[in-house]
Structure 1
Amino acid sequence: MIKHKNKDEDATIGPYLKVATDGNYQENMPATEIAKITTDNPWYILGAGAMGCLWASYLTLAGLPVVLITRNKRNGNAINLTKANHSQSITIKQITLGELKPSTLTIKHLLVTTKAQQTISALSDIKPHIDNDAILFILQNGMAGKHIANLLPTQQLITGITTDGAYRTDELSVVHAGTGETLLGDKSIIDCLPKNHLAIKFCDDIDNKQWQKLAINCAINGLTAIYQCRNGELLENEEALSRIKLLCNEITAVMHALGLSVHQSIFDQTLHTLTITADNYSSMYQDCQQQQSTEIDFINGYLCSEAQRLNINCPENQRVLAAIKQIEQSYAQ
Structure 2
Amino acid sequence: MKNTPWLVIGAGAIGLFWACKLEKLGNKVHLVYRSESPGKKITLESLTDEEGQQQVCTTKHKIKSFTAEELTDQYDKVLICTKSFDLKNAFTQVEAHITNDADIACLCNGIGAQEELQNKLLETQTLWAGTTSEGVLKIEANHIKHTGLGDTYFGQWRPTTPAKDFPLEGMTVTNIHQRMIEKLAVNAVINPITAIFNIHNGDILNDEYKPLIDATLSELSSVFTHPKFSYLQESQHLTRDNLKNRVNTIAQLTRLNRSSMHEDIRLQRQTENNFISGFLLDNSPIELPVQRLLFDGVAHAEQREEVRKKLLSLS
Answer yes or no: same fold by TM over 0.5.
yes
Q: Secondary structure at the match of 2:296?
A: helix
Q: Secondary structure at the match of 2:20?
A: helix
Choose 237-246 or 286-295, whichever is displaced more.
237-246
> How far did 1:97 drift?
1.8
SS in 1 for 2:192: helix
Query: Which one is further off, 163-172 or 116-125?
Result: 163-172
Q: Which residue of 2 aligns with 1:142?
A: 110
Question: Any stretches of 5+ residues in structure 2 without a counterpart?
Answer: 48-55, 157-162, 305-315
1:203 partner letter:
V
Q: CA deviation at 1:211?
A: 0.6
- The correspondence for 1:261, drawn from 203, 214, 236, is 236
Q: Name the residue aligned to 1:28.
A: none
1:56 counterpart residue number: 19
Greater length-normalized contact order (CA 8 Å, ≥ 6 residues apart): 1
The match for 1:45 is: 8
The equivalent residue for 1:81 is 44
Q: Does the Cα contact within 8 Å between 2:139 and 2:145 map onto a contact in 1?
A: yes
Q: What residue in structure 2 maps to residue 246 of structure 1? A: 215
Aligned residue pair count: 280
The alignment's TM-score, normalised by the length of structure 2, stands at 0.81
- Which residue identity is paired with 1:261? Q
1:179 CA displacement: 1.7
| Residues in 2 aligned to 1:242 and 1:172: alpha-carbon distance in whole angstroms | 42
The runs of at least 4 consecutive aligned structure 1 residues that moved more than 3 Å come to: 186-190, 239-242, 327-330
Measured against aligned partners, the alpha-carbon deviations of 1:163-195 in whole angstroms (never above 9, x if no partner) come to 2222212222222222221122258555x43x6
Q: 2-side partners of 1:297 and 1:73: how far apart? A: 26
1:301 Cα deviation from its structure 2 partner: 0.6
* Whole-Å separation in 2 of the counterparts to 1:246 and 1:168: 34
- C-alpha deviations, 1:39-62, integer Å up to 9, x for none? xx2111112211111111111111
Partner of 1:94: 65
Partners of 2:255 and 2:58 in 1: CA distance? 20
Partner of 2:32: 69
Matches within 5 A, 1:1-333: 35-36=1-2, 38=3, 41-72=4-35, 74=37, 76-84=39-47, 85-100=56-71, 103=72, 105-143=73-111, 144-154=113-123, 155-185=125-155, 188-190=164-166, 192-193=167-168, 201-235=171-205, 237-257=206-226, 258=229, 259=232, 260-262=235-237, 265-307=242-284, 310=285, 312-327=286-301
Question: Aligned partners of 1:319, 1:42: CA distance in 2, in Å?
Answer: 45
Q: Distance in 2 between matches of 1:66 and 1:94?
A: 9
SS in 1 for 2:42: strand
Aligned counterparts of 1:75 and 1:47: Cα–Cα separation in 2? 11
In the superposition, the TM-score normalised over structure 1's length comes to 0.77
1:246 positional shift: 2.2
Give the Cα separation in 1 of the matches to 2:86 and 2:67.
16
User: For residues 77 and 240 of structure 1, what CA distance do their matches in structure 2 show?
Assistant: 45
Q: What is the deviation of 1:111?
A: 0.6
3-state secondary structure, aligned to 2:119: helix
Task: Tell me, yes or no, if the aligned pair for 1:79 and 1:172 is still in contact at 8 Å.
Answer: yes
Alignment RMSD, CA only? 2.3
Per-residue CA distance 1:278-297 (angstroms, 9 max, x = gap) = 33332212222221101000
Secondary structure at 1:202 match in 2: coil
Contact preservation (8 Å) 2:152, 2:171: yes
Offset at 1:75? Answer: 5.3
2:309 alignment counterpart: none
Equivalent position amino acid for 2:290 in 1: E
Question: Structure 1: how far apart are the matches of 2:148 and 2:255?
Answer: 7
Tell me the distance in 2 between the aligned counterparts of 1:62 and 1:296: 34
**1:233 Cα shift?**
3.1
Percentage of pairs with the same residue: 30
146-155 vs 200-209, which moves further: 200-209
CA 290–171 in structure 1, closer or farther in 2 if over 3 Å, else same: farther
Deviation per CA, 1:112-145: give whole Å up to 9, x if none: 1110011111111111222121101122111111
Tell me the distance in 2 between the aligned counterparts of 1:164 and 1:75. 21
